[in-house]
Amino acid sequence: GAVVSQHPSRVICKSGTSVKIECRSLDFQATTMFWYRQFPKQSLMLMATSNEGSKATYEQGVEKDKFLINHASLTLSTLTVTSAHPEDSSFYICSATSSGTTDTQYFGPGTRLTVL
C-alpha cells in the first residue's frame, strides 16, 4: 500500500518550453502533496505544499509563476515548470500524506528534468 507514482520519469526539453510533471497516489487519498527539488549530492529542498482544492503554499525563494502547482483531486497533483531554462534542470520528487500534514510522507520515484 501507499504507492506514489510520478510521470514522466525523465524528460528533456528545449529552453523556453513548459513541462508538466504528474504525481499520483495510487491506493490512498492524498489530502496533502509536497513537491521537492534535489540537486546532485544535495538534500531535498521543499518547493511547495499543496492541499486538494486550494492554492499551493510556496517556500521562500520559489517562484510561484514559474512552478505552477495544481492539486485538483485527492489522487493527483501536477507541477508545471513554465518557460524552462537550463538552471531548472534538476530531480523533482513529490510526496503525499493521507491524513494530515504530519503523517508519514510517501515519496514518488522522481522525475529527472533536463533543459537544453
Partner 1 sequence: KQEVTQIPAALSVPEGENLVLNCSFTDSAIYNLQWFRQDPGKGLTSLLLIQSSQREQTSGRLNASLDKSSGRSTLYIAASQPGDSATYLCAVIPVDDYKLSFGAGTTVTVRA
Task: Tell me which residues touch partner 1 (CB under 8 A).
Answer: 4, 6, 32, 34, 41-46, 49, 91, 93, 95, 100-102, 104-110, 112
Question: Whole-angstrom Cα distance, residue 56 to residue 33?
Answer: 9
Question: Residue 81 has which C-alpha cell?
Answer: 515548470
Q: How far is the CB of 109 from partner 1 (least distance, A)?
A: 4
- Shortest separation between residue 114's beta carbon and partner 1, angstroms: 12
CB of 43 to partner 1, least distance (A): 4
Taking Cα atoms as reference points, which of 115, 102, 111 lies closest to residue 24? Answer: 111
Neighbours of 52 (CB within 10 A): 16
Cell numbers found for residue 25:
497516489
Q: Shortest Cβ distance from residue 83 to partner 1 (Å)? A: 26
| Closest listed residue to residue 105, CA positions, set 94, 114, 97, 115 | 97
Considering the complex, state which of residue 9 and residue 18 has its C-beta at the smaller distance from partner 1: 9
Q: Is the peptide bond before 40 cis (omega within 30 degrees of 0)?
A: no
Q: Which is nearer to partner 1, 43 or 54 (CB)?
A: 43
Please, which residue, 86 or 100, has the CB nearer to partner 1? 100
Nearest to partner 1 of 42, 73 (CB atom): 42
